[in-house]
């Protein structure tokens, strides 16, 4: 019984490959996302300012997502205390965020490769399920057009940013809350009480953000009131 099912499966796969071999290149081009790398390179050369802006905007968005999720773990609306410059450099200040941004561009390239290879399958789905309610199958499993590919890539990229950068922010916050990471000695009039342990959450142009482990509260100190910050050496 199992042998017959396997034979049937291989027969169907063979028919599918035979069908795909008859698909013309012009028909496949409809389902292949078109990216002319020579044109992309020319655009970067001709518009360096805009290219840098697009990359930097991506970094800024990633950094903003990180800041909001991270400080929310400490019940702090951090955007109230930030300047535009703080948001622009937030993604650059954390190496992991930068690594995840690089991963996002790699993910888009991977999606493009998969969509390009998948073009014959998308053609077959369109031919097989071209009527009625089953028409939704090629819309879900296939690549309908170049436009649908880029919209899909944008959605996946947005989820990637939120999930992985958000997960990194949550893990970093938990390491401070539970494991007392990033402990520092603060020389300031606002931190003169004995027995207090502080972790450095981050800094902005105007403020230093601290977490007091003794009373489990966030402390915001103006930068001019900080005399010195000294990391606590791990034993």
Predicted local confidence at residue 24, as pLDDT = 57
Predicted local confidence at residue 172, as pLDDT = 92
| Range 92-104 average pLDDT | 83
CA angle 37, 40, 42 (to 5 degrees): 110
| Range 204-210 average pLDDT | 92
Lowest-confidence pick of 61-70, 124-133, 206-215, 221-230? 124-133
Residue pLDDT, tens place only, 152-197: 777 777 777 778 888 889 999 999 988 888 888 888 877 766 667 8
Sheet of strand 183-188, all strands in order from the earlier edge strand to the far edge? 217-222, 207-212, 198-203, 183-188, 226-231
| H-run or E-run covering 208 | strand 207-212
Quote the tokens at residue 172: 């970093």
Alpha-carbon distance 211 to 180, whole Å? 10
Q: Where in the chain is the domain with CATH 2.30.30?
A: 181-235
- The better pLDDT of the pair 32, 105 is held by 105
Residue pLDDT, tens place only, 117-158: 666 666 666 666 566 555 554 554 445 555 566 667 777 777
Predicted local confidence at residue 210, as pLDDT = 93
- Residue 179 vs residues 78, 199, 213: alpha-carbon distances, Å: 22, 10, 10
Predicted local confidence at residue 193, as pLDDT = 66
Q: Which residue has the tokens 């409809």?
A: 30
pLDDT at 98 over 70: yes
CATH number belonging to domain 181-235: 2.30.30
Q: Is 229 helix (H, G, I), strand (E, B) or coil?
A: strand
């Amino acid at each position: 019984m199992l042998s017959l099912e396997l034979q049937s499966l291989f027969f169907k796969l063979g028919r599918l490959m035979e069908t795909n071999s008859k698909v013309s290149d012009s028909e496949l081009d409809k389902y292949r996302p078109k990216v002319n790398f020579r044109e992309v390179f020319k655009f970067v050369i001709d518009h360096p300012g805009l290219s840098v802006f697009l990359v930097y905007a991506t970094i800024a968005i990633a950094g903003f997502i990180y800041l909001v999720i991270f400080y929310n773990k400490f019940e702090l609306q951090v955007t109230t205390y930030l300047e535009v410059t703080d948001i622009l450099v937030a993604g650059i200040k954390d190496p992991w965020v930068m690594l995840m941004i690089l991963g996002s561009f790699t993910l888009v390239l991977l999606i493009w490769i998969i969509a390009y290879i998948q073009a014959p399958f998308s053609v077959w789905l369109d031919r097989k399920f071209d009527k009625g309610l089953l028409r939704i199958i090629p819309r879900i499993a296939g690549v309908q057009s170049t436009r649908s590919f880029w919209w899909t890539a944008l959605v996946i990229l947005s989820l990637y940013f939120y999930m992985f950068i958000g997960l990194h922010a949550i893990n970093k916050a938990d390491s401070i809350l539970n494991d007392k990471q990033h402990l520092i000695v603060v020389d300031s009039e606002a931190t003169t009480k004995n027995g207090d342990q502080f972790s450095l959450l981050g800094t902005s142009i105007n403020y230093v953000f601290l977490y007091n482990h003794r009373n489990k509260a966030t402390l915001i100190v103006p930068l001019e009131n900080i005399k010195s910050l000294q990391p606590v050496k791990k034993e």
